[in-house]
Amino acid sequence: MTKKDSNSKYYIHPEGWKFASIFFIVSFLISFIFLPLAALGFILTIFTLWFFRNPKRTNPQIPNSIISSADGKVCLIDTACPPEEVGLGSNEMLRICVFMNVFNVHINRSPISGAIKKIVYKEGSFFNASLDKASEKNERSSIIISDENGVEVVVVQIAGLIARRILSFVSANQVLHQGERYGLIRFGSRVDIYLPKSSVVNCKVGDKVIAGESILATLADMG
């Protein structure tokens, strides 16, 4: 089942308005007591709206490409087993990890076009998301996406040191287009993308990438 990407119509995601409204009201009340502190609150209000920005992106539309699910910096490229809870067994996959700091856009996008086979949420800790142990210890939400050839890709949203909530915009059996928004993580986090080991990596650790645009890897030709 294909759903329209309803999140595409907002330049500021609705989640941002919730937090900004709280900061604004509190700052307004404080302004009657201590103006300098109120000024800081108004700055936080503006920053919150900016943090939840939801820009349009241009999909490269290159066959077999795997695009980044997150804005940020590639912090790890290795092979690893997907989270146990997704049920894919102990076969290792290629893993590319992208770390998002608080200045990055935190809207996450699908790395491929395909149907969502499973979504699994798991509670956890809140270690710094740039640490390797964050993949196993932190709060996370995993999605298995299967393309038209049956190739499965796993995307894992991992909450960070500050982030305390992962939001998902999608549901099981929904069909996503490459680059379509599927969720967000609040305030500093990470996304791990698990691919077939035969995939060709097109990035390196330290690269800055853009969700929905940057090509992280290319799937092996199924033909």
Beta carbons of 218 and 199 less than 8 angstroms apart: yes
Answer yes or no: is 58 within a domain: no
Answer yes or no: is 59 within a domain: no
Answer yes or no: is 188 within a domain: yes
Predicted structure pTM score: 0.83
Residue 163's pLDDT is 55
Residue 129 and residue 157 share a domain: yes
Residue 115 and residue 37 share a domain: no
Residue 70 and residue 44 share a domain: no
Residue 133's pLDDT is 72
Residue 120's pLDDT is 94
Residue 72 and residue 23 share a domain: no
For residue 69, which of 205, 194, 200, 186 has the smallest C-alpha distance? 194
Residue 169 and residue 105 share a domain: yes
Residue 222's pLDDT is 54
Instruction: Please list the alpha-helical segments (H only) found in 97-176.
Output: 134-137
Which residue shows structure tokens 């490409």? 65
Residue 65's pLDDT is 96
Residue ranges, the chain, pLDDT below 70 = 1-10, 127-131, 161-164, 187-188, 222-223
Beta carbons of 212 and 133 less than 8 angstroms apart: no
Residue 220's pLDDT is 84
Helix axes 35-51, 14-30, angle to 10 degrees: 180
Can you give the residue range of the structural domain that contains 15?
6-51
Residue 31's pLDDT is 87
Residue 73 and residue 183 share a domain: yes
Residue 96's pLDDT is 97
pLDDT digits (tens, 9 = 90+) for 4-57: 454 555 677 777 778 778 888 988 898 888 888 989 988 888 888 887 788 889
For residue 68, what are the contacts with CB-CB under 8 A and spacing of at least 6?
98, 109, 111, 193, 209, 210, 211, 212, 213, 214, 215, 216
The catalytic residue positions are: 189
Residue 19's pLDDT is 73
Answer yes or no: is 223 within a domain: no
